[in-house]
Chains A and B, each alone.
Chain A
Amino acid sequence: MTRVVLALARRAIRGNLRRPQYLAPLVIFPTLFLAVNVGGLTETTSLEGFPEVRGFLDFQLAGALTQSLLLGGVSTGIACALEIEGGFFDRLVASPIPRVAIVLGRLVATGLIAAVQVLLFLALGLAFGAEIVGGVLGGLVVLVIGVVAGIGFGAIGQTIALRAKNASTVQGIFPLVLVILFASSAFFPRALLSAPADTISRFNPLSYVAEALRDPIISTVSLAPSIEGLAAAAGIALAATGLSAVALRGRLRDA
């Protein structure tokens, strides 16, 4: 099965590279957002309760990265939906391969793309003066959590695609993604959020993912936020992959 999963992952990556219009927003959107935030909200770092940071860019990098990974999930869903619409998905289903390989192939590709997203945003941050206080180890922690979260978001996108069976519906979840992102602590510390945003963000797993991505950038690697973030990311990945597999089975039954 490994050979099949890798072959499908390679195909998905090729497809992404050959359809740059779906990859570009993963970089352009969060980068613009990052530039606007850093340009206009730098003074917020002096607010009482704001964590100790070298600069606002260091703090915002994790937000941009979380946003990029979420958009990667939308992109994965769109690619899957296009495959269903075009009929290629039926070809895969009619092949003598385990059905789960179809789900995993695209998620492996999503994970690899997530790794590139993490490295790209870290490089971007470093280029514009940010510092990864956690050093190489911190960078690795960000990479691992980012990849796991990326796979989770991809699985959510894939689940929606398998249920909706059309790309426009998957595209339609984009505003919802932004709402969920803003209802987390991705762009602002939880301690400074007022009610009910602070309560919502406490129950929003994205908060834990974003904080775990942020922690090794703004401080030395601490176990607690990293484990919380990894658990949140892994929880999303496992639950969404399971849902994806169930959605695939349901789709085959009801097709």
Chain B
Amino acid sequence: MAAIDVRGLQREYKSGLKAVRGIDFSVAPGEVYGFLGPNGAGKTTTVRMLVTLLRPTGGSATVAGFDVASEPARVRERIGVALQEAALDLLMTGRELMELQATLHGIPAREVRSRAEELIGRVGLSEAARRRVATYSGGMRRRLDLAMALIHEPEVLFLDEPTTGLDPTSRATLWDEVRRLKADGTTVFLTTQYLEEADQLADRVGIIADGLIVAEGTPAALKAEIGLPHLDISFAECSDLVQARELLLGFGELRPAPEGVDVSVAVAAGAAEIAPVVRVLDEAGFTVAALQLVAPSLDDVFAEKTGRRLEGAAEPVAAPA
């Protein structure tokens, strides 16, 4: 049985906006599923439907084996939720919030304190536990949010953009916790707009754009779909580029060289081809000034599928074929 199973899920708002336009995907137990897309793509709407905060207007979805529309209470018992913009009561202390969350999840009164202490310690907030949440940094709030989502050891954990706006250290801490959860066998549904995050954490990735899933698979498979890695080479002095290109054709297809690069060649074997390439160029008298192995990224996948970049460059890239 899938931990999450979504079939033709739709959400149309009263305004007529179709935020999610019929999506299908399935997440296996223990899997980390990265749900990737730009702002406004439909990620948060999808999460809100899966955690029973929003009713679907079409299609169906089950979480932990229960239908989100007809059995929402059962779903809520089995999930942990850390929504976008850590939803915390700033007037309470970290410990008070943890204890409240434990009570809301029906943890016996005698276990509430110890469970709260354990989780607070796990996310490194023991020293701040007695302070009001208003005094916490963004990273601390996110960690507390995550700890609260884990208080009842959920079968499925939903993390909606958990690292947006965090500094690199806080982001790394959260990534470590997600990896630990994966090792413990927790299913994690992670929405993010950071490609690196999905690449690092997710077993599989679903890319959503304009309310539709445009690609799905493991990060490696998605990247492999759109092409081979390539070597970007720059020479130290004005060289005979025609001869260089002829030599490099023996390794793979030549690609249009980006600005500042003399030759770009696709290399099927990736890093293993660097040494032979350099050797051939050296023997022919070329001095290599810079060489970079460029592997396709999830951003390339996103661009290939949607015709625009997910993060970074604002300018559109070539439209998908």
Contact = CB atoms under 8 A, between A and B. Distances in A.
Contacts of B105: 95-96
Nearest to B132: A18
B89 interface: yes
B113 to A, nearest CB: 13
Given A18-B91, A94-B76, A97-B104, A3 B109 contact: yes
Nearest to A10: B100
Given A7-B104, A11-B96, A94 B89 contact: no
Indicate the size class of the contact surface on chain A.
20 to 34
B53 A255 contact: yes
Nearest to B54: A255
Contact of B53 (A83, A86, A90, A97): A90
B73 interface: yes
A253 B87 contact: no
Which secondary structure dominates chain B's binding surface? loop
Contact of A15 (B55, B91, B106): B91
A11 B99 CA distance: 11
A254 B57 CA distance: 11
Given A3-B109, A4-B103, A253-B55, A94 B90 contact: no
A91 B85 CA distance: 12
Nearest to A79: B91
Interface string B71-89: 0010011010101011111
A88 B83 CA distance: 10
Interface in A86-141: 86-88, 90-97
Contacts of A15: 89, 91-92
Contacts of A18: 91, 132
Indicate the size class of the contact surface on chain B.
20 to 34
A15 B100 CA distance: 13
A102 B211 CA distance: 32
B104 A19 contact: no
Contact of B92 (A11, A90, A94, A252): A11
A86 B91 contact: no
Interface in A6-41: 7-8, 11, 14-15, 18-19
A88 B88 contact: yes
B110 interface: no
Given A4-B103, A96-B106, A88 B87 contact: yes
Given A11-B96, A14-B96, A95 B87 contact: no
A51 B100 CA distance: 50
A19 B53 contact: no
B51 interface: yes
B65 to A, nearest CB: 15
B52 interface: yes
A60 to B, nearest CB: 34
A87 B85 contact: yes
Nearest to A86: B87
Contacts of A4: 103-104
Contacts of A8: 100
Contact of A3 (B76, B86, B103, B132): B103
B73 A96 contact: yes
B294 to A, nearest CB: 40
A14 B100 CA distance: 12
Given A87-B87, A91-B83, A255-B54, A14 B104 contact: no
B81 A19 contact: no
Contacts of A95: 76, 101, 104-105
A96 B91 contact: no
Contacts of A253: 55
Interface centre among B48, B73, B87 (most CB of A within 10 A): B87
A111 to B, nearest CB: 20
Given A91-B81, A94-B52, A96-B76, A11 B100 contact: yes
A122 B73 CA distance: 45
B100 A96 contact: no
Contacts of B53: 90, 93-94, 252, 255
A93 B55 CA distance: 13
Contacts of A3: 103, 109
Contacts of A255: 48, 53-54
A4 B104 CA distance: 6
Given A11-B96, A96-B104, A91 B109 contact: no
A86 B91 CA distance: 12
Contacts of A97: 104
20 contacts: A4-B103, A7-B100, A7-B103, A7-B104, A11-B89, A15-B92, A18-B91, A19-B91, A86-B88, A87-B83, A88-B89, A93-B52, A93-B53, A94-B81, A95-B76, A96-B105, A96-B106, A252-B53, A253-B55, A255-B54
Per CB-CB distance, the 7 closest pairs between chain A and chain B, nearest first, are A87-B87, A95-B104, A96-B76, A96-B77, A7-B103, A18-B91, A94-B81
Given A15-B92, A88-B89, 5 more contacts: A11-B89, A14-B92, A95-B76, A96-B106, A255-B53
Interface of A: 3-4, 7-8, 11, 14-15, 18-19, 83, 86-88, 90-97, 252-255
